[in-house]
Each structure stands twice: as C-alpha cells, then as structure tokens.
A and B are shown apart, each in its own frame.
Chain A
Amino acid sequence: MKTLKDAKVGQTLTVVRLNGTGPLKRRIMDMGITKGTEVYIRKVAPLGDPIETTVRGYELSIRRADAEMIEVE
C-alpha cells in the first residue's frame, strides 16, 4: 500500500486510511488529514525531511516517519 512517505513533490493524493493509534494519529487527524482528504505535496525540506503539504487550504509540514502512517492513493 502506498503511503504519504513515498509521495513525490507535485502529486495530489487522497487519504485512504490512517494507521497507528494514540496522540500521533489524533494529532494528524486534528490537523485535518482524515479519510478522503486531498493532500498536495508541495516540497521537501533542504535536508530531505520533513515534507511540506497543502491540506484543506493551508500548509502543513510532517516528518516522513509520521507520513508513513498515512495510506494514500
């Protein structure tokens, strides 16, 4: 299954599923990444991590390790 971690800059993806539990998952959802949300990959930080995305009309940065929990298509 493809996750947000492997996404390429410039892609727009749809969230299929969120894995994991507890504070991290809740935080990701609280920030607006829920099932069916469109996520646009804007850029990657100069050192390769984290990545910057556009979600629900604003900019959100997320570490690759955390992005792995987000299944997309």
Chain B
Amino acid sequence: MSVKIALAGNPNSGKTTMFNDLTGSNQRVGNWPGVTVEKKEGRLKGRSDVIIQDLPGIYSLSPYTLEEVVARSYLVGEKPDAIINIVDGTNIERNLYLTTQLIELGIPTVVAVNMIDVVRKNGDVIDLKKLGSALGCEVVATSALKGEGSKEAAARAAALAEEKRGLSAPSVFEGSVEHAIAHIEESIEGLVEPRFLRWYAIKLFERDGKVMEELHLDRALADHIEEHIADCEEELDDDSESIITNQRYAYIAKVVSQAVKKKHTGRKMSVSDKIDRIVTNRILALPIFVAIMAGVYYISIGSVGDWTVGFMNDTLFGEWITGGLTALFEGWNVAPWLSGLVIEGIVGGVGAVLGFVPQMLILFLLLSILEDVGYMARVAFIMDRIFRKFGLSGKSFIPMLIGSGCGVPGVMASRTIENERDRRMTIMTTCFIPCGAKLPIIGMISGAFFDNAWWVATSAYFVGVAAIIVSGIILKKLRAFAGDAAPFVMELPPYHSPAASNVLRATWERGWSFIKRAGTLILLSAVVIWFLQAFGVTSAGFGMVEDNNDSLLAAIGGAVAFIFAPLGFGIWQATVGVVGGLVAKENLVTIMAVCYGFAEVGETGEEIWGILNTTFTPIAGYSFMVFNLLCAPCFAAMGAIKREMNSPKWTVGAIGYMCGFAYLVSLMIYQFGGLITGELSFGLGTVAAIVVLAGLLYMLLRKNRYSEYGGELSVNAAKKDVKVNA
C-alpha cells in the first residue's frame, strides 16, 4: 500500500527546493490533465512506498485561478493521505492564510515552517508548539535549502497518513459565522464525504461557484443556505467572501502575535531591500534591466550560444555525423534512397533542431538563475506598464528579446510567465520578431531588389514589433483571451542567492522536453518534407529525382502557387521556398536557388538576385520577405509552440493565426504598394486589401466587450480546462 503526500504552499516558499530535497532524482514531470500547469510527482528518498505530489504554488484555494483550481481538484478529488504545507517562516502571516484553508479539508497536515535559518538569523523566534496547537496540526521547523528538517516533516506526514486519523480544524471564524457554517454543515450532511463536510460548508458560505455547481443542491436547500448567508452578511455588513477572508486573517494575526516574537518590529532595511533600492530605482531600473538583458542575450545568443550552434550544426551534424554516415553507407552499398532519408531527411532535419539544444540549455540556465534569484518578478514590475497595453505581461519582453536570436528558446522562455492568457499570447507573437535564421531571407530581398539598402533590415524588425503590438491589441479583445485574465497583484519575493540544484534541474527539464519533441513531431515533419522534395514523377516513372524541379514538392508548389498570386509571388519556386522555410528558415534561400538550378549559393543567394529581380517587382519581393518573416516559423519553433501550449487546439490556432496574419499583411503591402508604384491597376485585389485594412482597423479600434477581469467568464473558462472531481 503506497502513501500519497501532497506538497502545498505559497509561491516562493521554497516548495521546489523541498520537493527536490525529498525526492532526489525519482521525479516525474508532466502537466496536469488539459492545462499547462506543470505537475511533478516523486518518490520519497529511502521510502519507495511514499509518493510525494507537488502541487502548484498557490496563495489560496479560491476558484479563480487555474493553479488554485488544479490544487483544489487534487486535494478533494484524489484525497491524498497527508499534506505537507510549506510555510515561509519569514513571511508567516500571509503564508498561514493558505494553511487555514488546507486544514479545513480534514486531511492530516504537517506544517513545515521553512527558511528557519533566515528566521533565526533575523533574531526572530517562532514557538512551534503554540503554533501547532492553534492550527490543530503538527509543526516542524525546516530549511529546505540547508537540508534541515525536510526528512522529519516527510516522516511525520507519512506516520500521520498511516494512522489515518482525521484532523480537527480549530474554530477560525467568529460566533455568527461559525453558527451559519454549522447550519450549512447540518443541511448538507450526507451529500458530501464526511471528512470534507466543513470544507464544503465554508465554500458554500463563500458562494463558491465551482462547489455550488458540483453539488447541484436542490432549490429549497439552496434557498435555505442562502438565508443563513444573507443573515450573516447583514449582521456583519459585508459580503460572505470578504467576511471569511477577513476573519481568517484576523485569526492568523492573533496566532502570530502569540507564537512569533520578532526582534525588529520597526521597518529595518534588509540586504534584499538594499538591492531592490538600486535594482528597481526609478532612474537606474531601466539601465540595469537593459544591461542584464544584454548580458543574457550576449552570452546565450551572441558569443557562447552562437559558438555551440555553429559547432552542433556545422561540425557535429554537418561534418562528423553526416560525413561518417556517408562513408559508412557507401561502404555498405546502401540504397541511395535510404542513405538520403537518413542523412538528408533525418539527420538534416532533426540535426537542425537538436543543434539548438546547447544554446537553449545556456539560455535556460541564465533564465533559471534570474528566476531563482527573484529578478524575474522585478522584470514584470518594471516592464508591466508598456506590455499590458498590448494584452501582454511585463515578462513577455524576455521571450521576445530571445526570439530575435532564435524563436525556439524564445517560445520556451515564455515558461516564466505564470498567467496562462499572457503566456499564450506571448507564444503566439514571439516568432514575429525576425530570428537569426530569417536574416538570410532579409539579405536576399535587400540585395536583389533594394541595392542592400539599410532600411530593409530595419523595417523588418519594425514590421515584427508592429505585428506584435497589433496582434496584442486584436487578440486581447477576442473571447478566447477575454476570460482568464489574472489581476496584476504580484508578490516581490526577497532576493536570495540561487540554489544550484534548483537551477540545474529546471534547466535540464526544459531542455529535455524539447529534445523529446525533436525525436517525434519534428522527426516526422522532416521526413515528410524530405520525401516530397527527393521523390517525383519523371519520364522514367516515379522515383527519386535528380532535379528538384521534378519533385513532388515542386508539383505541389506549382499547384498551390496561385494562393500567393494576390501577394505578388504566385510562382512555384517561391512557394517551394516558403515550404522549405518550414524545415529551417535559413533553408529558404538555398531551396529557392536549387529551384532555379543553382546547386551551391552564398548565404544570401547572391547568384539568384538577378533572376529574382527580373521575376518579381520590388514590391512583390518585399511582400515575399514580410510573408516569410511573419508566417509559421520553422518546425523546431512549431515544436516549441506545441510543447508550451500543451493543447492541439491552441497550437493549431497559434500557427494558423501567424499564417493568416502574414497573408493579410503581405496582401496589403503588395496591393497598396503596387497601386502606388503603378504596377497594379485597381481591381479585385485592391478591393480585398481595402476590406482587410478596414477589418484590421475595426479590430484595433473596437471596444473591448469583455471586461479585463471577467468574473463569471473566468470561472467558465477555467471550467472548460479542469474538471472538478466530486
């Protein structure tokens, strides 16, 4: 018989550190069903019969945020045998607020007062006995970072779980509220599991939407309960939710005043305060932010990161593996199609993706450090004002900055954004920023049509930023994004030095999930594209083709090229280029050159500039460039999008949005541009472009029909994702 222990606590309470300390390497990381909230589970070190379930970091058990709903569903639905509630001893008042809610569940609970080393250093004293008797549960002092007490907390929890003794919660609320709750308990007795009776009664008193829906109380009973609530509200002149919250905090204040002796009662500057005085200073904050971001960018994208990508792509995959396999296959006389499939298709495709892994690890290492130290919360604090105008979070800046180097780590950097809505929107827009692999495309167009004018590249970045802003404003008004906006009421945790184990573990988890993706989805896509471009029908029948012009890809490209006619590049070579760009954007130039009969070209395809210049007009060329900058990114980035969205619907939606947006923007550029230069006359295309422009302006300027914090809406939106188990 195994024992299940849930690990619950506030964000920044040291929960992750304790989880790692308790489970070591016996961890399984996944997602909670249907949502992008991370789920971690592990076996207690030395006790393989004890399973530790890490719950999301939460402040409360309200029905309003995804994390809280996930935690609630687990606690009530899966019925863990015990809870370890981690409480930050240096911030005990707010941390105990969650504790008062957890103990109502009647599940045996051990409160771990964490960061006890810091508490002692501050000269404060916490009377664990008093605290324990006031909360009705066992209390253990821990310092997860120093490895102190964690094992004891787990051992106590396991012992409690085996005793199967319920927990009797103290009377947190005052007379009339307790009275009303007792009445509600009485009236729902038999409808809910006995041990959760008090929890359900309190939730009903709060008029908790999710619980009311779950219980399906009949009309008479619901009215009866409502009467008790209304009486209590009238007596205390407040709404029931506020009454409960107020009395919880009042109870905690009383407990803390008895059990905690602070050495300094006044406001004393801690080291963290001193750091913060400089780092978020009104004048210095932005320069420091720019310097830190420049440092992250320089190390991960510029210097070390660039070197690893070069090494992985050119040396490891380009020379060693490809060269080795070629020699090997030649020696074995392997059929050309098989060696083509393995070397060009699989190694080429997957290698292009895996080549980014070391770079991503470096980036994630840096971001994990910034996160662990506490700087990420400050980034949101500093940048919030700018980004929230576009429906994004202050933390969206980081994915976008990284995205200018490579969209793959950019998309994955969105992990640091807690709010699901902000994260999704960031993922959808990050790839609009021209990444490193899109530079050859810009170079090709700039060279072929505009005599390498400086403004072409600049305008490409401008288009990217404008696309993000426009998308942000449009998307935030859509229903899909309207519901689950979390208010920006954010804790700024004290700075602390990073814990190596946390940082390395977080880095590895993110990197590994990407590698797994490369082995499945990306592998398949690469094989399909390789097959299409290597095989075709010639006079000799179906088979491998020497000339790319005979390939299936060329045939498909020719068949669908008309789609791009309104954009100015409705020819098959350009279409094949677009598709080839999906494998890797830097492939686009080479593939187009191959289509025009050049085997080897320079990075920006100087050899085909002349042909392009005679085939396209400059406006069409520019439109082609913009389309490729904004449309679906490469497979690697799409894999990252799929990984981070964790939902087929949202993945398809995001990629579809990018392609659609790119199409419409390029349409406008070509049609309006052509009209101005006189190469196009007023026609159907112009009308279409005018309609698109009008539609875009309407979407930009219309009023937001959904309030920023849709109360009812957010409950519904969350309901879709998480099923509350009865």
Q: Interface of A with B (CB < 8 Å)?
A: 18, 21-32, 34-35, 37, 40, 43-50, 52, 54-63, 66
Contacts and interface: CB of A to CB of B under 8 A. Distances in A.
A19 to B, nearest CB: 11
Contacts of B486: 23, 27
A46 to B, nearest CB: 4
12 contacts: A22-B714, A23-B62, A27-B65, A27-B489, A31-B489, A46-B286, A47-B385, A50-B488, A57-B91, A60-B491, A63-B388, A66-B487
Contacts of B384: 45, 49-50, 63
Contacts of A63: 384, 388, 487-489
A61 to B, nearest CB: 5
Contacts of A35: 238, 242, 246
A66 B242 CA distance: 17
B170 to A, nearest CB: 19
Given A18-B242, A46-B280, 20 more contacts: A26-B64, A26-B241, A27-B64, A29-B241, A43-B282, A45-B280, A45-B282, A45-B382, A47-B382, A50-B381, A50-B488, A52-B381, A55-B94, A57-B91, A58-B493, A59-B276, A60-B489, A61-B488, A62-B490, A66-B487
A45 B384 CA distance: 9
Interface of B: 59-60, 62, 64-65, 91, 93-94, 97, 238-239, 241-242, 245-246, 249, 267, 276, 280-283, 285-286, 381-382, 384-386, 388, 486-494, 709, 711-712, 714
B386 A31 contact: no
B62 A28 contact: no
Contacts of A61: 381, 488-492
A51 to B, nearest CB: 10
Contacts of B709: 22-24
Contacts of B60: 26, 30
A57 B252 CA distance: 13
B722 to A, nearest CB: 15
Task: For the complex of A and B, list the 4 residue pairs with the smallest distance between their C-beta atoms, beginning with the closest.
Answer: A22-B711, A23-B64, A47-B385, A30-B60
Contact of A30 (B59, B91, B490): B59
A52 to B, nearest CB: 6
A43 B281 CA distance: 8
B280 A30 contact: no
A20 to B, nearest CB: 9
B245 A30 contact: yes
Contact of B489 (A22, A28, A47): A28
A1 B286 CA distance: 34
Contact of B487 (A21, A27, A45, A49): A27
A52 B242 contact: no
B490 A60 contact: yes
Contacts of B494: 59
The main secondary structure of chain A at its interface with chain B is: mixed
Given A23-B714, A63-B488, A48 B246 contact: no
A32 B711 CA distance: 20
A11 B552 CA distance: 72
B382 A23 contact: no
Nearest to B494: A59
Contacts of A54: 267
A47 B386 contact: yes
A44 B285 CA distance: 11
B720 to A, nearest CB: 16
A57 B97 CA distance: 14
A45 B385 contact: yes
Contacts of B386: 47
Contacts of B492: 52, 59-61
Nearest to B95: A58
A30 B382 CA distance: 23
Nearest to A21: B711
Contacts of A57: 91, 93-94
Contacts of A66: 487-489
Contact of B93 (A26, A43, A56): A56
Contact of A44 (B276, B282, B712): B282
A63 to B, nearest CB: 5
A55 to B, nearest CB: 8
A27 B143 CA distance: 28
A54 B270 CA distance: 13
Nearest to B485: A23
A59 B273 CA distance: 10
Contact of B382 (A46, A55, A58): A46
B267 A29 contact: no
Contacts of A25: 241-242
B282 A34 contact: no
Contacts of B242: 18, 25, 29, 34-35
Nearest to A60: B491
Contacts of A48: 385
A45 B239 CA distance: 33
A71 B27 CA distance: 47
A30 B62 contact: yes
B245 A34 contact: yes
B93 A45 contact: no
Contacts of B239: 21
A1 B626 CA distance: 52
B251 to A, nearest CB: 12
A49 B386 CA distance: 10
Contacts of A26: 60, 62, 64, 241, 245
